[in-house]
Amino acid sequence: MTNLTLPHLPRPLAMAAKAMPLAPMTLLLTRLARQLVARHPGMQRRLGNHAQRRFLLDLIDLPFLLLLEPGGATPRVTALSRRHPPAHDIRIAGPTAAFLGLVHGSMDGDALFFSRDLVIEGDTAAGLALRNAIDDAELDLAAELSVMLKPLAPLLARLLPSAERLSGLALHRVDRPAGAPL
């Protein structure tokens, strides 16, 4: 399933993820999701009726699952144990590198799905709508985190290039310099 050219999540990050408590991660990711919707309102328009779907994001190299519920005025992302997968309409599975590459435009979304680096199960129309919404929004998660965690923005900007180089992961939008304002 996995393309050998995709970088692997570095072992120290994978180990650190095991120690992360799920409740604070849920709060942080939900806050990020709400900020994304507020700053990129076209995403929900692009999702249309699919915004009411429940998307299970299975980053296979992480020890938890993410349930994305983008609909309504209060989008939510919940971090959950792999032992108890929630009810969902669609599951998108693949390595963290593929998800980040898709979000940041460093990898072609269609190619990731055709190569099966990312796999969709369930409502494939909703999966395609989510991919298109992400593509159209031209997201930069590092920049979004800098906005959300404003006091830490200078530190994040300094650490980002080294983190990308060491991990091999696309941690910012490829068509913008690291740390560039949105």
What the chain holds in terms of domains, given with CATH numbers, is 11-139 (3.30.1050.10)
Instruction: Output the CA torsion 136→180→156→37 (10° steps).
Output: -30
- C-alpha 55/C-alpha 52 separation (Å) is 9
Strands 55-59 and 64-69: antiparallel
Its pTM stands at 0.90
Count of CB atoms situated within 10 Å of the CB of 87: 7
Q: What is the dihedral of CA 131, 134, 138, 139, to 10 degrees?
A: -130
Strands (E), the chain: 55-59, 64-69, 76-81, 90-94, 119-122
Whether 171 contacts 54, CB under 8 Å: no
Q: Does residue 29 sit in helix, strand or coil?
A: helix
List per-residue pLDDT tens for the chain, 182 residues long.
444 478 888 888 888 899 999 999 999 999 999 999 999 999 999 999 999 999 999 999 999 999 999 987 789 999 999 999 999 999 999 999 999 999 999 999 889 999 999 999 999 999 999 999 999 999 999 999 999 999 999 999 999 999 999 999 999 998 865 555 54
